[in-house]
Amino acid sequence: MRQVLFAAILALLLSGCLSVYKVEVQQGNVITQEMIDKLRPGMTPSQVRFVMGTPLITDPFHPNRWDYYYYLRRSNETAGESQRVTVIFKNDLLITVQSDTQIKSGNPATKESTAKPAPGNAPAKSDVTRLRVL
């Protein structure tokens, strides 16, 4: 009886050592659909920074392009999920938003947005004033 009790206690103690805790890895900027919906053509970089947060990557060779990257690997998965959103400015006004994942939006990528430019920041007629979500 004593040996069975000892074996049971030993098995119980060692079973805790066999499972390894894996940390959930989350990196970058969390990007929600609400954030994307708030972006409008003609917004200034400071307005975009207020809505989206500080970009993860600002390329010194392309200062008009901001990249927001998000990566999440849950503890029970081996592969993670990632999302990349690129915001492009022209003359310090937002013209394009590109994404590598499908953002839940009613507007197809080729359809022009009905969004109006941000107040006080109307772009010139020659500027592209549509917002594309790819």
Decide if 69 contacts 28 (C-beta within 8 A).
Answer: yes
| pLDDT in the model for residue 46 | 94
| pLDDT in the model for residue 18 | 66
Q: What is the DSSP letter of 123?
A: P
Q: How far apart are CA 26 and CA 73, in angstroms?
A: 7
Per-residue pLDDT tens over the stretch 81-133: 888 899 999 999 999 998 876 554 433 332 233 334 444 444 433 333 344 44
| pLDDT in the model for residue 112 | 32
More confident residue, 36 or 16: 36
Q: How far is CA 111 from CA 8, 24, 27, 49, 88, in A?
A: 67, 38, 32, 25, 18
Per-residue pLDDT tens over the stretch 33-49: 888 889 999 999 999 99
